[in-house]
Amino acid sequence: MPRRSELPSVSRTRLAATLLSVCALATAAPVRAGSYDIFGVTARDIGMGGAMTAAALGYSALFYNPAALTHERQHSLGLGLSLSVPLLEIERAAPGATPAAVHPDTHLGLSFGWVKPFGGIFDNRLALGVAISLPIERLLRVQGVDPAAPQFYLYQNLQDKLLIHLGVAGDPTEWLSIGAGLQILADLDGGATLDLDILAGTFDRRSVGVTLQPTLAPFAGIHIRPPLGAGGGQLKLGLAYRGSSSLSFDLPVRVAEGEALSLEIDVAQTVLWTPHTLALGLAYTLDSPALTVAFDLTWAFWSAAPDPSPRLAVDLGGRLVSALGLDQALDLSVGAPPLELGFVDTLTARVGAEWTPVGLFTVRAGYFFRPTPAPPATGSSAYLDNDAHVVSLGFGVGFDDPLQDRRAVVELDLAVQATILPRRTVYRAARDNPGGDLSHGGVVLHTSANVTHRF
């Protein structure tokens, strides 16, 4: 039998596992932006460079401009699959510098959407829509990474979140649509209380709880289709607003050995943050040739980006610690004052084209330039970002639905996109950054496939 002053091996294993779990709750890294913001929603949108404020169709309108939900006056169901492969490099002047650089992972995700127009007294002038973005590997990930470790701000874990969009649109007139909706994320809250018997190596009582509560971000838009007369083509104008969204969590953990010793850890952080955006779009469609050209300008309020670093407070107390006079000396607080990111607002210009040379076969192309909101990472944190040149190509093909008596179409759309990050060199003072200067850049490849049923 082991002495009471020694922890049994099984109890030590259980104790270590539990404490590691607590530490996992108490460590987190920033996750910013989202795959829709960076890449796009469907293959059609991606193929046209995301210039969709005036040209959106189907459930992707929930992200770009909810007012466009009524434009087609058709039911539509869509399913999408996307894959992003980051080929990014971080070169450091000091080989083997710590903390080590962190690179974003390859991500695979699904999306689903449904748009339902209402007939009857509404005469297809009212439509509802729902869209869901679902990461395949995990619904949500908040990864523990040292803020001083060089990492790509916009691309680290960007797809690891479940997103739900709900929206409604109505047509006051034939040429005007108004829409609004909500993006749904979740706030993470909870904590743990553990009563520990050190001599026996057991927990007398455990209380661990985590709750998810929905957090809502609004979006709204207008879609204008002024009449141009016979043979004048179709002009569409769009204006859209998307509210900022984020996931904030606060996870207090308390471990106590009776009244003699207590350890309190409180971790709070804001992750999965996206900025307020305003978008203005124009799209013009010709009948012959069957060509649509679209332009977008998007203003993103990155200057409001919050401090993404964890806020950690550790309080060691109890009668034993007080008797030794260490109750104040062993307290620790990390993350204050808040980190000033120095981000700036950005204006992104997009252009896209869609051409249908024959039948239901369509070719698409797009380009946009996204300036970085981030200054060079010369401080103690190493959140990296680059200007981005983004080029995309895509095509679509439609088929009559053999299961429908009336007219219906099944569409298959494919797109590939390359985000080119020109290399950026950062000169860092050696006294503040032992890792020295660094250089970062590369390419992110993204591909998407969608099947849409319109009826």
Percent of the chain at pLDDT exceeding 70: 71
Structurally, the chain folds into a number of domains equal to: 1
End-to-end Cα, the chain, rounded Å: 74
**pLDDT band at 29, cuts 50/70/90?**
very low
Structure tokens belonging to residue 270: 């804001």
Could you tell me if residue 330 is inside a domain? yes
- State residue 4's pLDDT score: 35
Pairing between strand 202-224 and 234-242? antiparallel
Could you tell me if residue 367 is inside a domain? yes
**pLDDT band at 37, cuts 50/70/90?**
confident
- State residue 5's pLDDT score: 35
Express each pLDDT in 143-152 by its tens digit.
555 677 888 8
**Higher pLDDT pick, 286 / 211:** 286
Among the residues of 138-280, which ranges form H helices? none
Task: Compute the distance between CA of residue 194 and CA of residue 197 in angstroms, rounded to an integer.
Answer: 10
Residue type at position 220: A
In Å, how far are 151, 155, 161, 210 from 86, measured between CA atoms? 12, 8, 18, 32
**Contact criterion met (CB below 8 Å) for 255 and 196:** yes
Task: Compute the distance between CA of residue 278 and CA of residue 241 in angstroms, rounded to an integer.
Answer: 5
Across 133-142, 232-241, 433-442, the highest mean pLDDT is recorded for 232-241
Among the residues of 223-286, which ranges form H helices? none
Express each pLDDT in 81-113 by its tens digit.
999 999 999 988 877 777 888 888 888 888 999
The enclosing domain of 334 has a CATH number of: 2.40.160.60
**pLDDT band at 166, cuts 50/70/90?**
very high
Could you tell me if residue 304 is inside a domain? yes
Express each pLDDT in 331-380 by its tens digit.
555 545 667 788 999 999 999 999 999 888 999 999 999 999 999 988 77
Express each pLDDT in 69-80 by its tens digit.
998 888 899 999
153: containing domain: 9-454
Stretch 263-278: mean pLDDT, rounded?
78
- The mean pLDDT of the chain is 79
Stretch 269-284: mean pLDDT, rounded?
87
Could you tell me if residue 2 is inside a domain? no
Could you tell me if residue 48 is inside a domain? yes
Least confident range of 13-17, 179-183, 337-341, 348-352: 13-17
Could you tell me if residue 3 is inside a domain? no
Give the torsion sign (CA, 169, 110, 412, 405): negative
Structure tokens belonging to residue 42: 């469907």
Express each pLDDT in 252-262 by its tens digit.
777 766 666 67
Task: Compute the distance between CA of residue 443 and CA of residue 155 in angstroms, rounded to an integer.
Answer: 11
Express each pLDDT in 382-437 by its tens digit.
888 999 999 999 999 988 766 665 566 889 999 999 999 999 998 877 666 666 78
Could you tell me if residue 1 is inside a domain? no
